Amino acid sequence: MPSRFYDLFPPLPLPDEMRQWDAQAMALGLPEELLMENAARAALDVLRVYRPHLAGLRVWLLMGGGNNGGDAACLARHLLDAGAHPLVLHTRPLSSYKGACGKHVRIARAAGVIFTRYTALAPQGGTLPDIVVDGLLGTGFCGTLRPETLEIIRRVNALPGQPFVLAIDIPSGLDGRTGLAMPEAIRATATVSFAAAKPGLALPHARPWTGELHVRGIGIPLAAQRRAPCSFYAVDGRSLAPLARIQPDGFKNSYGHVLVVGGAPGLGGAAHLAARAALRAGAGLVTAAAPGAGIADIKNGWPEIMTLPLGETQGRWPASLPEHFVELVGRCAALVVGPGMGRGADAADFIAALLALPHRPPTVFDADALMLMAGRLDLQARLRAHDVLTPHPGEAAALLGSSAADVQADRQSALKRLCGLSRAVVVLKGAASLVGQGEAPTLLCPYDVPQLAVGGSGDVLAGCMGGLLARMLPQPHAPQYAAAETDNTAATVLQPAHMLAGQAVALHALAGKSLAGQWPLRGNTPSAVADALPAALAAYTATPAPEDDFLPWPR
């Protein structure tokens, strides 16, 4: 059985980390030839999902110089046994294939598989293939395609008749880290990724190249994976399981009290959305604190949202923290600071005073709070390991002193730089949101949800995150985190706030996805996203996830 951590957060090894997994498996005594055999059988299983009857089908297998080429040669033997007509088109002299790859070439040839040197993808005897298997390049590819390989890829993509294309491990030409085509890649109908998906495969912009993504095991023991922890882990619907637990004999205080600090006059809608989402995420109590003139807009007809007016000057944040506010902060399990707070000097002073409180609970800083902290190293130094920053690309650019275009051009590097600013967890929002902290591994949420691309969606995420921190963090040693604390993996450096932030991102995304049936072309409100949180949690925790597939998007 995989560890509890791997159940919740599937690993996404980088290419060099995948090589370490292979090496560790071989160090345990598993022959490389066996891993290659298992990979070929896994590819055959995926192919049968789409083409159950292989007998009589013409299959061209493109065989490059790496291990993917060996997988293709081994797969050709299985296709021959299934009654298909495989033809292996190799790009290098057969004598150059050594090791496990060379051994499988020899076995396949002895079994009767036809091999021929690739010259051009021209119809063989006037016929075209029914299936093309891409075994040209593996996950180790980076940089820019060589002209001769680029020409092969273009010929595959231009084949008439639209044959079914199966990519082995990754479409050739796609960067396994970034998911970018360099500059083109095989346009696969489906991709089978061995042992684990790779970060680039999980990114939405890789979808036109990967087609439907399948992950199949090839027998690499968990012990081998533990010896080579990953830099990235996926956070999807499977991560939500711990959030579905209901406390026996629980009452409202058992589920935490969230304090939302925001909603200056004219901006109350943002604080309302955050408070509403905190309730929908399961918090037992929610209070919104704001200048008195903004309170009615925050409440917005919701008697469940308690309010705390602040300051004698109705439209401004008070110059010092009121005593009753400080007392409430001490009783709350989590804070959400920033939605609709405004960016005036009064708001900046209020945040500075709040950050100075010695016993401040875990805090989500969003929206205006992030902009007020941008360039303020004194404020960022007060952030703690259980705090969470939730910038979108524009807010991330302000914190980094760069541009949103720079952030989007290399989101992984931008996240690393953001994590270097403080001890807090950082959620870099956007399609395939990234969640990081310090030198800990990154959680990657693979969803791209158009229904979330609406003003106020970020306020909902902040409130959702606050609700989860409030009801889950008071018990950091609860069973759902026990494995993460004891497992000898990267989980040992993933703190509970880091994991909860990732789970909030996944729940928020899945709530948005659940609206696609009613609002397929968008048009939904962020309030609808907040209200969909409980049903989304129930839907994704009612049944177990598929045991062999990592699917960022539904089949």
169 assigned ligand-binding residue: yes
Tell whether residue 433 is among the known ligand binding residues. yes
Cβ-contact 134, 66 below 8 angstroms:
no
237 is an annotated ligand-binding site residue: no
486 marked among binding-site residues: no
Confirm or deny that 344 is annotated as ligand binding. no
371/390 Cα distance (integer angstroms): 11
Ligand-binding annotation for 466, yes or no, is no
432 belongs to an annotated ligand binding site: yes
The helix or strand, by DSSP H or E, that contains position 404, with its residue range, turns out to be helix 404-409
Residues 530, 457: contact at Cβ < 8 Å? no
Q: Say if residue 429 carries a ligand binding annotation.
A: yes
d(CA 87, CA 8): 41
Q: Spell out the alpha helix ranges (H) of 82-204.
A: 99-111, 147-157, 199-202
CB burial of residue 237 (10 Å; 0-12, 13-18, 19+): buried
The Cα–Cα gap between 453 and 431 comes to: 9
Please name which of 546, 543, 551, 471 lies closest in space to residue 504, comparing C-alpha atoms: 471
Contact 130, 164 (CB under 8 A): yes
DSSP H helix total and E strand total for the chain: 23, 17
- 270 known member of a binding site: yes
Annotated binding-site residue? 531: no
Angle, nearest 10°, between helix axes 67-81 and 32-50? 60
Q: Which two tokens stand for residue 313?
A: 């000057």
The upper half-sphere exposure of residue 501, i.e. CA atoms within 13 Å in the direction of its Cβ, equals 32
Residue 40's φ and ψ, nearest 5 degrees, are -65, -40
* Residue 458 marked in a binding site: yes
β-partners of residue 90 are 63, 117
**Residue 68 is labelled as binding a ligand:** yes
> Is 67 labeled as ligand-binding?
yes
On whether 142 is known to bind a ligand per the annotation, the reply is: yes
Q: 340 among the known binding-site residues?
A: yes
- 430 carries a ligand binding annotation: yes
299 is in an annotated binding site: no
* 392 in a known ligand binding site: yes
Residue 3 annotated as lining a ligand binding site: no
Residue ranges for the binding site for K(+)? 68, 134, 172
Residue ranges for the binding site for AMP? 429-433, 458
Residue ranges for the binding site? 67-71, 134, 138-144, 169, 172, 270, 340, 392, 429-433, 458-459
Residue ranges for the binding site for (6S)-NADPHX? 67-71, 138-144, 169, 270, 340, 392, 459
